[in-house]
Amino acid sequence: MKKRMKKGVINHLARRKKILIVYYSRTGNTEKVASVLAKHLNAKKEKILDSENRGGFRGYLKSGAEAAWKSLPAIQLSRKKLENYDIIVIGTPVWSWNMASPVRTYLTMNKFKFKQTAFFCTMGGSGSKMAFNSMQKLAGKPISTLELNAKEVSKINHSAKLKEFIQKLKKAREV
Ligand SMILES: Cc1cc2nc3c(=O)[nH]c(=O)nc-3n(C[C@H](O)[C@H](O)[C@H](O)COP(=O)(O)O)c2cc1C
C-alpha cells in the first residue's frame, strides 16, 4: 500500500510541467523575487549575465539609454536548455518604462523556443505595462504577470500579489 502510494506521488511529479525562472538583475531586487519564486515553485533559476559595466551613474545612464533604444547588448550563453522546460518565468527590472536590455537580448535570441511563459518585473513605480507588452511580442502571451515596486519587494514574503502569481503557476504546471 505504502509502495503504491509512493509510486503514485512519483508518477504525479513526473507528469508535472517543469518551470525555469530566468531573470536579469542589476541591484538585486529582481533577483530577490526570482529566489522566492524558485523556492515556492521548487524550480531552477538562471540569471542572465552580460559583461557591460552598469555600475554608478554612467552605468545607470547607459542602461536607461539601451532600454529606450531597444539595444541588444551581448549576453553570456544560457547554461540551461530551454527545450527541457515547459514554462519559462521571465523576470526583469523596468528600465526606461521597458524591459532591461539584457532581457531583450535573451528573448530575441530565444524567440521561438518558449512553450509557455509568465513575466514578472520590479520597478520604482511605473512602466510595467509597456515592459510586459514588449516582452509579449518576443515571448508570446504569458500565463500571468506580476509587477512589484520597491516597497512591495521589501515585504515580498507578505505579498498577496506574489501568492496569486504562484498559485496560477502551480495550476498551469499540473497537466
Ligand atoms: C537604467 C534604469 C532605468 C529605470 N527606469 C525605471 C522606470 O522607467 N520606471 C520605474 O518604475 N523604475 C525604473 N527604474 C528602477 C528599477 O526598475 C528598480 O529599481 C528595479 O527594482 C531594479 O531592479 P534590480 O535591483 O533587479 O536591478 C530604473 C532603474 C534603472 C537602473
Distance (Å, whole) CA 54 – CA 37? 25
Give the pLDDT confidence of 111-170 residue by residue, as tens digits: 989 999 999 999 999 999 999 999 999 999 999 999 999 999 999 989 999 999 999 999
Distance (Å, whole) CA 53 – CA 46? 20
Give the pLDDT confidence of 65-79 residue by residue, as tens digits: 999 999 999 999 888
**CATH number of the domain enclosing 33:** 3.40.50.360
11 lies in a domain?
no
Cβ of 126 below 6 Å from ligand 1:
yes
Note the pLDDT of residue 78. Answer: 85
Cβ of 27 below 6 Å from ligand 1:
yes
CB 73 within 8 A of CB 66: yes
52 lies in a domain?
yes
What total number of domains does the chain contain? Answer: 1
9 lies in a domain?
no
36 lies in a domain?
yes
Note the pLDDT of residue 43. Answer: 97
Q: Is the pLDDT of residue 4 over 90?
A: no
Give the pLDDT confidence of 29-77 residue by residue, as tens digits: 999 999 999 999 999 999 999 999 999 999 999 999 999 999 999 999 8
DSSP per-residue string spanning 60-122? HHHHHHHHHTT----BPPPSS-GGG-SEEEEEEEEETTEE-HHHHHHHHHTTT--SEEEEEEE
105 lies in a domain?
yes
Nearest-atom index, ligand 1, CA of 122: 21
**Burial of 23 from C-beta contacts in 10 A (0-12 / 13-18 / 19+):** buried
3 lies in a domain?
no
CA of 36 to the centre of ligand 1 (A): 19
Label residue 11 by pLDDT band (50, 70, 90): low
Half-sphere exposure for 85 (CA within 13 Å, toward CB): 21
> What is the pTM for the complete model shown?
0.93
Residue written as cell 538562471? 46
For the chain, give the number of residues: 175
Cβ of 104 below 6 Å from ligand 1:
no
12 lies in a domain?
no
Domain that holds residue 135: 17-173
Nearest-atom index, ligand 1, CA of 126: 11
